[in-house]
Amino acid sequence: MSTKKIIFFAVVIVCLAVAAWGYRMYNKPRAGVADQQTDRTLSAAELYRLYAANEHAADSMFLGKVIAVSGVVQSVDQSQPNAPTILLETGAAGTINCSMQPGDSKPIKQGMQLQVKGKCTGFLMDVNLVDAIVLP
Amino acid sequence: MMKQLIMVLAIAAIAGTAKAQNYFTRSGFVGFYSTTSQESVKAENKQVYAVIDPTKKALAFTLLVKGFLFEKELMQQHFNENYAESDKYPKASFNGTMEGNIGTAPGEYPVQVNGQLTFHGVTKPVTMPATVTIQQGKLSAKGNFTVKPEDYNITIPALVREKIAKEIKVQVQADCLPSK
C-alpha cells in the first residue's frame, strides 16, 4: 500500500472517530448528580442563611454546584408525576426547594430528617436544587 | 436579599388584598418545546413560583432560568451559556390579569390571560387562553402560548437555525393551594 493511501485511510479514520465522538457528546443525556462529586455539605438552615445574607456571594459558592443538604421535610408536593418537590425547613420564611429526580422512589414524608444531594440553581423565595436525590 | 424583597413585595401586591383568598405554589410547571423536522427540543422547569388571586383576576409567576432541565446535557449547557445567558439573567417572570368569569364554586373556568413576560432582560406582552380549575379547595391554572426567540433578543446561530423552531411553544401549569 502506498504512503498516500495509508495517509488517506488514516485521515478518514480520524474524521470518523471525531464525528462519532461529537455525535456521542451531542446526544449525551443530562447527567444526574448520583455519580457526581459533592462540592459542599451543609445544613438547610446554613445554606438558606448564606443566601439570605448575600445572594451574590452565595451564588459564587453554590450556583451550579452539587451540594448535599440536610434538614427536616416541611412538605412534599406530588403534583408532578414521578418527580415530587420537597421543601426542607430552614427555620426562616424560605426553604430549600428540592426538585427530585424522576424515579427516585424512596418514600418521603413530612417531618422526616433527610440528606438531599442536588444541583443548586439559585435563589428566589427559597434556595432551589434540581435533579435531587435522597442520600442513604 | 434586596432581590428577594422585591420578589416578595411583587407577590404581596397580589397576595395582600384584604380578605381576598389567594392561591400559591412553589412547584408550578413551565415547559417549552421546539419541534422541527431535524430536531425536537424540550425543557421543563418544575420549580415555578406562582400566586393567583381569582377575586382580582391577577396572577404572577417567577422562576429560575437554570431550573429548566433538558434531556441532553449539551443542549442545557448551550441554552444557559449562549441563548438564555442565565448567569446574566437568572430569573424570568410573568405578571398578568385574567379576563373571564371565575366563580367560587368548584368547576372549570376558561379565561384569557394578558400580561408581561420578562425573559433574557426583555419584557414583552403575552396573551394566552387558559383554564382555571377550582376543585377540593385547590386552584389550578393551565395555559399555553408561543414565543419567538428573537423577540427576547436571543440570536440563534445560522448553523443550528433549522434545528430550532421559529416559534417556541410554552406550556404553563400551576396547582395552587390557598395561601396562609
The most confident of B11-15, B114-118, B157-161, by mean pLDDT: B114-118
The residue range of the domain holding B8 is 2-178
**Which pLDDT band holds residue A65 (cuts at 50, 70, 90)?**
very high
In total, the C-beta contacts within 8 angstroms joining chain A to chain B are 83
**Which pLDDT band holds residue B5 (cuts at 50, 70, 90)?**
very low
How many domains in chain B?
A: 1
Best A25, A30, A96 residue to mutate vs chain B (most B CBs within 10 Å): A30
ipTM: 0.85
Q: How large is the average pLDDT for residues B129-150?
A: 95
Instruction: Provide the pairing of β-strand A96-100 with A127-134.
Output: parallel
Q: How large is the average pLDDT for residues B4-17?
A: 49
| CATH number of residue B152's parent domain | 2.40.128.110
The three-state (H, E, C) secondary structure of chain A, written as one string: CCHHHHHHHHHHHHHHHHHHHHHHHHCCECCCCCCCCCCEEEEHHHHHHHHHHCHHHHHHHHCCCEEEEEEEEEEEECCCCCCCEEEECCCCCCCEEEEECCCCCCCCCCCCEEEEEEEEEEECCCEEEEEEEECC
Find, in chain A, the residue whose alpha carbon is nearest to that of B48: A124
Q: How large is the average pLDDT for residues B130-135?
A: 96
Q: Which residue has the higher pLDDT, A108 or A52?
A: A52
Provide the shortest C-alpha distance from residue B148 to chain A (in Å): 24
Cβ–Cβ contacts within 10 Å for residue A2, how many?
7
Kindly list the residues of chain A whose beta carbon comes within 8 Å of any beta carbon in chain B: 25-31, 52-55, 63-64, 77, 79-80, 83, 85, 87, 94-95, 97, 99, 121-126, 128, 130-131
Provide the shortest C-alpha distance from residue B127 to chain A (in Å): 25
- Asked whether the beta carbons of A5 and A11 are under 8 A apart, the reply is no
Find, in chain B, the residue whose alpha carbon is nearest to that of A51: B1
Listed range (A21-35, A122-136, B27-41) with the worst mean pLDDT: A21-35
**Which pLDDT band holds residue A124 (cuts at 50, 70, 90)?**
very high
